[in-house]
Amino acid sequence: MKKVITYGTFDLFHIGHVRLLKRLKSYGDYLVVAISTDEFNKLKGKESFCSFEERKEIVEACKYVDEVIPECNWEQKELDIKKYNIDILGMGNDWEGKFDSLKNICEVIYLDRTENISTTKIKKNYLLLRRIKLKSLKFLLITYSILLNQFQRSIINESTKSNNVYWLWRHRLKCYF
């Protein structure tokens, strides 16, 4: 039986992860995925949206994966390769050359990443969207405050304009609710 192993955080599981795991599985009969623990991510200066347990559960649900193990430190790769009788270590090409020192104990391959998708890109887009929504909300609150102020002033004045301001205020806010 030919065994393959890969390592990663696998946060915000996406199509790029699925395609990587599918390609890795095609190199062997058994795929082991080592997922970085929350503690190890902290050492690497990374923070995940999902906890290790959640990421593990998600990756275990992928049909290409046979076993999931924790990745606790940089040094464990050589130990894992020996412990699990691994034939191939497969990584994304963003790690090109970083694990060539393990070629004396197994085959090391670097696969192309899926274009236009990455967890980093998803996180950046999420933060950008959040900023845009906050700005929109701020604009809405300011507009609401101005209209409410106008409405309150018109009621105090009890002028004939109060009815017009009320309908203007109601019409403008209707599009937001």
The strand pair at 30-36 and 107-111 is best described as: unpaired
**Structure tokens, 106:** 């197994």
Helix axes 161-174, 119-157, angle to 10 degrees: 170
Q: What is the pLDDT of residues 40-99, one digit of tens each?
A: 999 999 888 889 999 999 999 999 999 999 999 999 999 999 999 999 999 988 899 999
Distance in angstroms (rounded) separating the CA atoms of residues 94 and 111: 9
Q: How far is CA 150 from CA 147, 154, 158, in A?
A: 5, 6, 12
Long-range contacts of 95-102 (CB under 8 A, 24+ apart): 102/77, 102/78
Instruction: Determine the Cα–Cα distance for residues 13 and 153; give it in Å rounded to an integer.
Output: 53
More confident residue, 74 or 150: 74
pTM equals: 0.69
pLDDT above 90 for 176: no
pLDDT at 177: 45
pLDDT of 157 above 90:
no
Per-residue confidence (pLDDT) for residue 137, from 0 to 100: 58
What value does the mean pLDDT take over residues 23-30?
Answer: 97
- For 41-74, letters b (16+ CB in 10 Å) and e give beeeeeebebebeebbebbeebebbbebbebeee
Query: Which residues, 6 or more positions from 8, have their beta carbon under 8 angstroms from its beta carbon?
Result: 17, 33, 34, 35, 36, 71, 92
Count the alpha carbons within 13 Å of 38 in the hemisphere toward its beta carbon.
9
Measured CA to CA in angstroms, residue 161 lies from 143, 144, 156, 169 at distances of 19, 18, 11, 12
Higher pLDDT, 132 or 155: 132
Quick one: what percent of the chain has pLDDT higher than 70?
A: 66
The pLDDT value recorded for residue 125 is: 62
Residues tagged active-site: 44, 46
pLDDT band at 168 (very low <50, low <70, confident <90, very high): low
Are the C-beta atoms of residues 111 and 28 closer than 8 Å to each other?
A: no
